[in-house]
């Protein structure tokens, strides 16, 4: 139990079942399992159940059954007249409980070993039919065995796969990067030279396009014109024709 100034918290260990709890009490207090002090073990067991109820933890029916069994054994041991068997020997009320505890303790002692064996077994890879695997491996490396099972259908299937692979390789798209010999700076000089040699110092955009109608050079020329216009070296006049204009040197 851990306490603070105002609040306290109860921490209870978890047990897999009532016999696990009983063994815990026996090992904790170093009790003789063949001579269990039934009064003490019953009080500890009931105290544990009462703490579970205070924490609103649902108590399993098996715990309640063992608690009733302990109280019944305690009541029998308090009776003044002991119970005798057919031979007249006194019957210890704890005998059946001790028997169950010893049996549970034996099972619990092998749980760790069984768990380890289960883990090792899960790590193993299941093998199939050994003879079938050996035959398959021999066929993969034996050319004569493959030729014996060869037929026209298998040959056609292989030919079909090869042809599909060939068609795919032939039609596979290819990407080629082309370095164009144009720059905006170079096209600016080209347009200025065109304007200088003209008497009226102007030229139509259509004429510039017609000289080199390639798409990429048209784009470079248009970008060069925009940059010259921004620098104030040329001016534009709307001309005749669709999307046509005149470029004039200032």
Structurally, how many domains does the chain consist of? Answer: 3
Q: Is residue 161 domain-resident?
A: yes
Least confident of 74-78, 81-85, 98-102, 119-123: 81-85
What mean pLDDT comes out for the span 228-243?
Answer: 77
| C-alpha dist (Å) from residue 249 to 188, 225, 241 | 12, 11, 21
Alpha helices in 79-181 (DSSP H): 95-109, 111-123, 130-141, 143-148, 152-171
CATH code of the domain containing 206: 1.10.10.580
pLDDT at position 191 is 87
What is the band of 4 on the pLDDT scale with cuts at 50, 70, 90?
A: very low
What is the band of 7 on the pLDDT scale with cuts at 50, 70, 90?
A: very low
pLDDT at position 3 is 39
Query: pLDDT exceeding 90 applies to what percent of the chain?
Result: 0
Q: How many Cβ atoms sit within 10 Å of the Cβ of residue 197?
A: 8
Shared-domain flag, residues 14 and 100:
yes
Q: Is residue 220 domain-resident?
A: yes
Phi, psi angle pair for 8, to nearest 5° = -135, 155
Q: Is residue 62 domain-resident?
A: yes
As a whole number of angstroms, the distance between CA 99 and CA 95 comes to 6
Shared-domain flag, residues 66 and 162:
no
Shared-domain flag, residues 10 and 82:
yes
What mean pLDDT comes out for the span 125-150?
Answer: 65
Shared-domain flag, residues 166 and 204:
no
pLDDT at position 140 is 63
pLDDT at 239 over 70: no
Shared-domain flag, residues 146 and 210:
no
pLDDT at position 55 is 59
Helix then strand then coil, % of the chain, to nearest 5 = 60, 10, 30
As a whole number of angstroms, the distance between CA 106 and CA 187 comes to 96
Q: Residue 25: give the domain boundaries.
A: 2-115
What mean pLDDT comes out for the span 222-233?
Answer: 87
pLDDT at 228 over 80: yes
pLDDT at position 8 is 39
Kindly compute the dihedral angle of the four CA atoms of residues 219, 223, 224, 229, in this order, to the nearest 10 degrees: 140
Residue 186 parent element (H or E)? helix 184-197
Mean pLDDT of the chain: 76
Shared-domain flag, residues 151 and 88:
no
pLDDT at position 155 is 81
| pLDDT tens figures, 164-186 | 888 888 887 777 777 778 888 88
Q: Is residue 125 domain-resident?
A: no
Q: Is residue 123 domain-resident?
A: no
First to last CA, the chain: 96
């Amino acid at each position: 139990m851990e306490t603070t100034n105002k609040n306290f918290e109860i921490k209870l260990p978890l047990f897999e079942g009532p016999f696990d709890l009983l063994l815990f009490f026996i090992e904790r207090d170093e009790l003789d399992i063949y001579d269990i002090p039934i009064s003490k073990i019953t009080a500890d067991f009931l105290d544990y159940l009462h703490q579970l109820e205070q924490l609103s933890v649902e108590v399993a029916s098996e715990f309640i059954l063992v608690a009733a069994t302990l109280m019944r054994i305690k009541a029998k041991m308090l009776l003044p007249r002991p119970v005798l068997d057919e031979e007249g020997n006194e019957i210890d009320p704890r005998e059946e409980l001790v028997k169950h505890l010893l049996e549970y303790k034996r099972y619990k002692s092998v749980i760790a070993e069984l768990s380890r064996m289960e883990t090792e077994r899960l790590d193993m890879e299941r093998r199939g039919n050994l003879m079938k695997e050996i035959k398959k491996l021999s066929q993969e490396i034996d050319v004569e065995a493959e030729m014996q099972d060869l037929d026209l259908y298998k040959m056609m299937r292989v030919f079909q796969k090869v042809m599909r692979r060939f068609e795919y390789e032939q039609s596979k798209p290819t990407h080629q990067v082309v370095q164009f010999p144009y720059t905006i700076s170079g096209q600016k000089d080209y347009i200025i030279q065109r304007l200088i040699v003209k008497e009226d110092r102007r030229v139509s955009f259509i004429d510039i396009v017609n000289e080199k109608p390639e798409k990429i050079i048209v784009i470079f020329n248009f970008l060069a014109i925009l940059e010259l216009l921004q620098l104030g070296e040329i001016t534009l006049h709307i001309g005749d024709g669709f999307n046509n204009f005149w470029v004039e040197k200032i």
